[in-house]
Amino acid sequence: MTYFKELLTAFERYAYGQSLHTAFTEMLEWMLLPFKRYDVADEQRKALEKYQSHPKVEHLVKLITLIGELSENFRDPLGELFMQAISNGHNGQYFTPEPICDMMAMMQMGDVGNSRKVNDPACGSGRMLLAAAKLNRSSLLYGADLDITCCKMALLNMLLNSLTGEVAHMNTLSNEFYRGFKVDTVLVDGFHMPYYTEFTQPELSYIWLRPLKVQEVKSKFDNPFEPLRSMQPANGVQGSLF
């Protein structure tokens, strides 16, 4: 865990003077800025200016460098940092250990990773999706979670590993949809550069369950139903099951 102590120390230095949870969510927002796709050039310019002019940009650059290095081989340093520094005092959230995620992915996908689409309806920081990517990184990965912070961690994990799919901020049980993030890559100078687009319309999501279209069925009975009467009278006595 020596690698993680370095990350935790760097994060605490960055978060000095503010709550750890606020600092963590602010860090996620900053890290996502350069990955977002903007349709208007002026919006992209403003986002990059905000990215570069952050008052603690030096600390943030060190953090994202450490997180990027520790994310190799589909690891989850963001989730580990969240559990150790944040969730102890924020709803007590703990994620499935990575070896168990690997085992579950192997059980579901097999050792050759044949599954083309993978869905985790309570994805947390995206560990199950990362475990699936170890077996088949070309799979389309779909994750949903009720906690927006978890959604952004899963989104960043997908972006850092150039994975494709969708992360939805929604209540999977009630199917209430809040926000979605589609993740894709574009080929630039021979490299697959990751990016994401944000949307709020649930109809654009591949995870949100669309309502069934119930067609009106015309009854085949034109006349009221009259029950048939038996030719033999029922004189028997009802028995007991026991």
Q: What is the pLDDT of residues 142-167, one digit of tens each?
A: 999 999 999 999 999 999 999 999 99
Give residue 43's pLDDT.
Answer: 85
Low-confidence residues in the chain, pLDDT < 70: 1-3, 89-92, 111-115, 214-242
Residue 242: what pLDDT? Answer: 44
User: CA–CA separation, 103 vs 94, rounded Å?
Assistant: 18
Tell me what pLDDT residue 229 has: 63
Closest by Cα among 184, 143, 178, 177 to 163: 184
What was the pLDDT predicted at 25? 94
Q: Tell me, what's the pLDDT at 51?
A: 86
Tokens of 193: 């550069």
pLDDT of res. 190: 77
Bridge partners for 176 per DSSP? 171
| pLDDT at residue number 179 | 97
pTM above 0.85, yes or no: no
